[in-house]
Amino acid sequence: MKKTILTITLISFIAISSFAQLQVSKNKRYLETNDGKPFLWIGDTAWELFHRLNREEALEYLKNRKAKGINVIQAVVLAERDGLRIPNSYGAVPFIDLDPTQPNEAYFEHVDFIVNEAEKLDLIIGMLPTWGDKVFSENPGAGPIVFNKENAAVFGEFLGNRYKEKPIVWILGGDRNIANEEVLKIWRSMATGIKKGDGGNHLITYHPRGNSSSSKSLHKETWLDFNMYQSGHDERFNDVYRLAANDYNLTPVKPTIDGEPAYEDIAVKFWDHMDFSKKETERVPAGVLDTDGLIKDQSHFKDGFFDDYDVRVHAYWNFLAGACGYTYGNNAIWQMYKKGEPSAIPALYDWRESMDCPGAFDLQHVRTLLEDKFYKIVPDQSIIVGNTGEGEDRIAAALSNDGSLALVYLAKGQPVQIDLNKLQGKVKASWFNTRNGKYQKIGKYKNDKVASFTPPSSGIGNDWMLVLESN
């Protein structure tokens, strides 16, 4: 009976269509489309998309993200928030009797709809087959644990076959590191199943726990096409560049992406101000939330909240340290929080209001600046004369191999001295305003000296990119 259900499900979805396939570039540093065009990964974290939104809501969300310049949507098939037992918007759960070899067609028809609508908008789905709590880990979640080597392969093949003609990148893991050799075998088995199902047609990576990278346990796994790290939510001015640099310098060379940096509007170190041993409605003291379930007493979260400035700082630090992608996140959107419902982590706004938070708009400017440049540059702090700083004083720089371009990011609008000898010919200098996406001309310089540059404004929230181009 199990085999019959699986076969019918596979056949029902197969349809031949063109799709935006990604591949690893020849130099192994970035991703590109199947026609060789460099692909700047600008993602959004929508873990609960398949689980919590209905079709009208999902389409509204996808159109909004497309308008923001986002091109990858990271979503989980078997969701974190008790996604095996709490049904989707149409009353369907993913499996019959919690059995990964018995997919429920009604549930996957909803996933199909979202994948298809994303494809119409030229969006790629970074699809997590499951959240990591459905596999044994050192950080238990809602679960339940349902996977072993055998059924992980079956489920992987089912997904691979079902979406083999769709714009997908596979992301295994789901906020969990590899606990032991047996767990590694389960994930390896799922990857093998996916490749069997889709003919090896899509890239695969792995989403680890905070302040960690897939490279720690998986870098030499042949199925891991590129690394993904989670820089996490524990501090402002997180030194994300260390995670990027670590992956960048590994052998064999593989692209790397920050798949979960600090989310906009999430409380810094939220776990210090919540009791996760209790159910969702009781994790913060009475009076912290209003009648809609939104935060009304922000002072309870004593470390404050990440904002659009944090989004920009972490994005540019990542890219200039060697990352080829960055995934934005918002606390309300990852969980698709709706007013009046319990929240996994209390939110300032609901998911719909949060779609237009300022950090999301800043992604357009990231793309404007970097889309035609990111694949040309390599990290190079040597262009900076003097101390490059650490923490909030960090100055980040990258230089193209041919010396025709340099980017220098000043998170606090600090004055900086640059060795122009690193560039070729005459140098045209400009300021790029990361808050509005506009350029300001500075002037032209000979490449035979050290030049000083002072941004138009300085201090917290006044970040600038110095753009130096051979003229």
- Per residue in 108-127, pLDDT tens? 999 999 999 999 999 999 99
pLDDT band at 20; cut points 50, 70, 90 = low
> Distance between CA atoms of 330 and 211, rounded to whole angstroms?
18
Residue 249 has pLDDT above 70, yes or no: yes
Number of other residues whose CB lies within 10 A of the CB of residue 438: 12
CATH number listed for the domain at residues 377-470:
2.60.40
Q: Model pTM?
A: 0.95
Residue-level pLDDT at 216: 97
Residue-level pLDDT at 116: 98
Packing angle of the helix pair 105-120, 55-67 (nearest 10 deg): 30
Number of other residues whose CB lies within 10 A of the CB of residue 319: 28
Q: What percent of the chain has pLDDT above 90?
A: 95
Task: Lowest mean pLDDT of 17-31, 103-117, 364-378, name the range.
Answer: 17-31
Residue 51 has pLDDT above 60, yes or no: yes
pLDDT band at 139; cut points 50, 70, 90 = very high
52-80 pLDDT, tens per residue? 999 999 999 999 999 999 999 999 999 99
Residue-level pLDDT at 8: 34
As a whole number, the mean pLDDT across the chain is 95
Q: What percent of the chain has pLDDT above 70?
A: 96
215: Cβ contacts below 8 Å, ≥ 6 apart: 227, 229, 246, 247, 250, 254, 256
413-469 pLDDT, tens per residue? 999 999 999 999 999 999 999 999 999 999 999 998 999 999 999 999 999 999 999
Residue-level pLDDT at 412: 98
203-244 pLDDT, tens per residue? 999 999 999 999 999 999 999 999 999 999 999 999 999 999
In 3D, which of 125, 134, 187 has the Cα closest to residue 162?
125
Task: Say which CATH topology domain 2-370 has.
Answer: TIM Barrel (3.20.20)
374-394 pLDDT, tens per residue? 999 999 999 999 999 999 999
Residue 320 has pLDDT above 70, yes or no: yes
Fold match flag (2-370 vs 377-470): no
pLDDT band at 200; cut points 50, 70, 90 = very high
User: Which sequence spans correspond to the domains of the chain?
Assistant: 2-370, 377-470
326-335 pLDDT, tens per residue? 999 999 999 9
Residue 32 has pLDDT above 60, yes or no: yes
Pairing of strands 124-130, 168-173: parallel
The tokens describing 98, both together, are: 């919690």
Residue-level pLDDT at 11: 33
In 3D, which of 276, 267, 285, 260 has the Cα closest to residue 347?
267
Q: Report CA torsion sign: 418, 419, 425, 426.
A: positive
Residue-level pLDDT at 471: 82
Number of other residues whose CB lies within 10 A of the CB of residue 35: 8
Average pLDDT in the 151-158 region?
98
Determine the longest span between alpha carbons in the chain, in angstroms: 76
286: Cβ contacts below 8 Å, ≥ 6 apart: none
The tokens describing 205, both together, are: 């990576």
> Distance between CA atoms of 378 and 401, rounded to whole angstroms?
7
In 3D, which of 360, 356, 329, 334 has the Cα closest to residue 345?
334
Residue 369 has pLDDT above 80, yes or no: yes
